[in-house]
Structure 1
Amino acid sequence: MNCPIRTLDNGVRVVAAPLKERRSTAIGVWVHTGARDEDARTSGVSHFLEHVVFKGTKRRTAAEIKEGVEGLGGSLNAFTSEEYTCFLAKCTSRHFEKVFDVLADMVLNASLQEKDIRKERTVILEEIKMTQDQPSQWVDELVAELTWEGHALARPVAGSMQSVSGLTTDDIRSYKDAHYRSGFLTIAAAGAIGIESLLKEAARRFDRAKPGTRRPLDLFQNRQTAPRLKLCHKPVEQTHMALSIHALPHEHPDQYVLDLLSVILGGNMSSRLFCEVREKRGLAYEVGSSVRKYHETGAFGVDAGVDSRKAVESLKVILAELRKTAVRPVSEGELRRAKDFYLGQLDMGLENTMSQMLWVGESVVRLGRCRRPEEVARAVAKVRREDLRRVAAAVFQTRALNLAIVGPGVDRSQKAFRKALAF
């Protein structure tokens, strides 16, 4: 992958991933600010701002923004995470300049009118309610509260009903003014585009972005010394559990070891958790593992939707499978298959222009450089069986366990869950 990076005079970074024989271009305007940059009172403001940016600028109405992209056969979207916000579009190469102009106008010149903010508040409050109505999503928010207790990472990206209801127009405008500045911005594109063309178009639109750089992060300090448990009764047909264990940040030397461990434990239908919890014991329809990585911290997670009558048993089986990897090295065949799966998913995931743009954009925003797939492949190839056992033993510690459970009558089994929550 060739992804040259340039910087405008005002600090806006520009990165391109030219792809041969492509007729489309994906473009993203990345803003290096997200939910972790908010305080408790303004929780959700990054996500709120992402919504209202679409409502119009001095040059375009909300309808004209959408028509300016979709009317040319393109697509337009945005998302907010804990560490960044991204506004993205995809279009045929001949319409790139017009679509890029819409994105730039949105990000730099959003009107942020009181009437639009008032209407969008209702939409976001409904979004929060929808998450709370879906236990498989709500349980992930609950376990984040436990894992990063007392820190901004513990709060939902969308905010709470209370915080979103309290956000004022001035709050949103002030947040945009402080964070949508040149030192926060990265322009990424992939497809039928070269770095010089992208640099020229970016300079035309972003050379007047207000100067400004990020303030130092409020770093999370892990002070957890014992397992944490949160049980929420909800009259649903299935019990949903989310297990979270403090793990590794971005750029940690063992990050790919942990990724491969996640593949082996719960990354696919061949994984240990899927085979043991679902196929062998019939305890769950869905079970899987994942890894979260932030600037200075991270977590290894397991999510499962289980038979409510066998929730405690399911937890014991899950923890037992994790514990095995810390005691006995996996087989050579299991490690080989995990590597092939991991790299195969990476290769297939980078086949289109949008996925390439997301890869290079996130890489530059998070790491300040373009991480190449070849670099990942070399690191993965070096992982050995003993590395997996070593990292599992270091990460899978009882004191680092966090468990959230949502289901019918789970609060009545608190003692049993607490007893089972140990390696």
Structure 2
Amino acid sequence: MGFQEIVRTVLPNGCVLIAKRVEGAPLVCLHGFIKGGMLYEEPEKMGSINLMAQTLRRGTETKTAQEIDDALERRGADLSFSAGSEGISVHLSCLPEDFKDCSSLLAEILRHPTFPEEEVEKQKLRIVNALRDAFTRPEEVSYRLFLSLAYPQNHPLHFAPDGTPETVENLSRNDVLWAYQRAVNPMRSIFAVVGDMELERLIDIVAELISNWEVKEETDKEFPPAFLPETQRREKVDLPDKLQAWITMGHKSLRRNDQRFYAANIMATILGAGWGRLFTQIRDNQGLAYAVGASLQAGLGEGPFIVRMGVNPKDINRAIDSAIAELHKIRTEPPSEDEVADAKSYLLGRLVLSMETTGGIAAMLVSCELYRLGLDYPQRAKSFYEPITAEQVKQIAEEILHPDKLAIAIAGP
């Protein structure tokens, strides 16, 4: 695929539009993001924004859910919405000749949804059933417990965005309407569209359709700082009918636009990649886990650094002790030059692979805008990673890893 320049514009309502032409691409892909997410959620209404996002395309002022489905199916197009901790994601893919019609449908859904009562109830039932299933799986239970231990109750990251079976069951259509009013706003929206069409044409189509999207009088919110606990916190949820236990452990880390992110990401990769220290020591050498990894979930807020392990219940304590030992080790001893080089190669390779499709490119452009990285970040990423030394990796580990202040969440028999 041949790449052309990128065009960026900001509409009067605050919505950011980005377009990139990729010659030879068979589909046009639009990726959107509406910032906010859990910032606009209320604890007693947890899951309302997710329910709203799942019901968003189930009817507008002029179209029923079936008519929307039929319009997309006739064109072989795909349109979906999802809610996460930081906001609502929008995904649209279609043929170039159908892009205007599909964009018109998307704009109507964003601006004039009706959230019919019967559709809200259908989505509620689907989500509640999915949550009930999730709450039987140790990996899900341990992760949700971890969030509640790692972040205080008044922090947006304390809860998972899909809520609990109890909170979702109690949601009403009015709660969904209120979630829409709070969480869907053009002034917090970013849309990137990528395909084999003239750039001006791509921008003009989207701009024409959403430039009249009305701004809601809502104060823009930012993710508050997170703080480490005074001491290590450890809790377990008993799931007596399970054969395996899951451990999720970690604590808050840093924001994506923190300049220390690149050294921290190398550190997390050395620890948590499929060839990393945790996998090698805990799974291969000691045989204490059938699955183990670590990740740095930096975002708009101070997302967590987490270690996750699936273990035999009899090995829970030994696996936790081994993981903590590896955290101490990387804080006190610089990694080898080979480890640092392998981590850099892995991260840069994944960046390239993530942009193999038009959808991947669109998602990357949204991330670049969202985290203020610059739209040329993919071309500059190597310059951020390459200068980092083994000593800098050790230094960032000292700064952001705190083995004595971990939140440790266990779920299993």
Measured after TM superposition, the shift of residue 108 of structure 1 is: 1.5
Measured after TM superposition, the shift of residue 369 of structure 1 is: 4.7
Contact 1:284 1:307 in 2 (8 A): yes
Aligned residues: 407
Extract unaligned runs of 5+ from structure 2. Answer: none
Contact 1:42 1:167 in 2 (8 A): yes
Contact 2:147 2:157 in 1 (8 A): yes
Any idea what SS the aligned residue of 1:19 has?
strand
Measured after TM superposition, the shift of residue 383 of structure 1 is: 0.9
Is the counterpart of residue 281 in structure 1 residue 286 in structure 2? yes
Is the counterpart of residue 135 in structure 1 residue 138 in structure 2? yes
Measured after TM superposition, the shift of residue 169 of structure 1 is: 1.7
Distance verdict in 2 for CA 1:233–1:179, change over 3 Å: closer
CA distance in 1, matches of 2:352, 2:307: 25
Distance verdict in 2 for CA 1:153–1:12, change over 3 Å: same
Match of 1:407 in 2: 412
Match of 1:419 in 2: none
Measured after TM superposition, the shift of residue 86 of structure 1 is: 1.3
Match of 1:261 in 2: 267
Match of 1:184 in 2: 188
CA distance in 2, matches of 1:90, 1:361: 15
Instruction: Select 1:373's aligned residue among 369, 378, 393.
Output: 378
Match of 1:411 in 2: none
1:170-227 superposed Cα distances (whole Å, 9 cap, x missing partner): 2221221233232122221122244422221122211221123542335134152111
CA distance in 1, matches of 2:371, 2:132: 30
CA distance in 2, matches of 1:91, 1:218: 34
Alignment of 1:202-217 (within 5 A): 202-212=206-216, 214-217=219-222
Instruction: Select 1:28's aligned residue among 27, 31, 37.
Output: 31
CA distance in 2, matches of 1:38, 1:32: 12
Alignment of 1:214-229 (within 5 A): 214-217=219-222, 219-222=224-227, 224-229=229-234
Contact 2:324 2:403 in 1 (8 A): no
Match of 1:418 in 2: none
1:322 corresponds to which letter in structure 2? L
1:9 corresponds to which letter in structure 2? P
Contact 1:291 1:299 in 2 (8 A): yes
Distance verdict in 2 for CA 1:148–1:195, change over 3 Å: farther
Any idea what SS the aligned residue of 2:44 has?
coil
CA distance in 2, matches of 1:252, 1:223: 18
Any idea what SS the aligned residue of 1:245 has?
strand
Instruction: Select 2:11's aligned residue among 5, 8, 31.
Output: 8
CA distance in 2, matches of 1:175, 1:34: 10
Q: TM-score, normalised by structure 2?
A: 0.93
Contact 2:277 2:326 in 1 (8 A): yes
Measured after TM superposition, the shift of residue 134 of structure 1 is: 1.7
Instruction: Select 1:234's aligned residue among 222, 233, 239.
Output: 239
1:317-361 superposed Cα distances (whole Å, 9 cap, x missing partner): 111112111111111111111111110111011110111111112
Contact 1:16 1:193 in 2 (8 A): no
Contact 1:184 1:214 in 2 (8 A): no
Match of 1:48 in 2: 51
Distance verdict in 2 for CA 1:261–1:275, change over 3 Å: same
Match of 1:307 in 2: 312
Any idea what SS the aligned residue of 1:318 has?
helix
Q: TM-score, normalised by structure 1?
A: 0.91
CA distance in 1, matches of 2:272, 2:250: 14
Contact 1:29 1:103 in 2 (8 A): no
Contact 1:29 1:104 in 2 (8 A): no
Instruction: Select 1:157's aligned residue among 151, 155, 161.
Output: 161
Which range moved further: 292-301 or 363-372? 363-372
Contact 2:142 2:411 in 1 (8 A): yes
Contact 2:327 2:403 in 1 (8 A): no
Q: Which runs of 4+ in 1 moved over 4 A?
A: none
Task: State percent identity of aligned pairs.
Answer: 21
* CA RMSD between the two structures: 1.8
CA distance in 2, matches of 1:297, 1:61: 40
CA distance in 1, matches of 2:408, 2:198: 47
Match of 1:335 in 2: 340
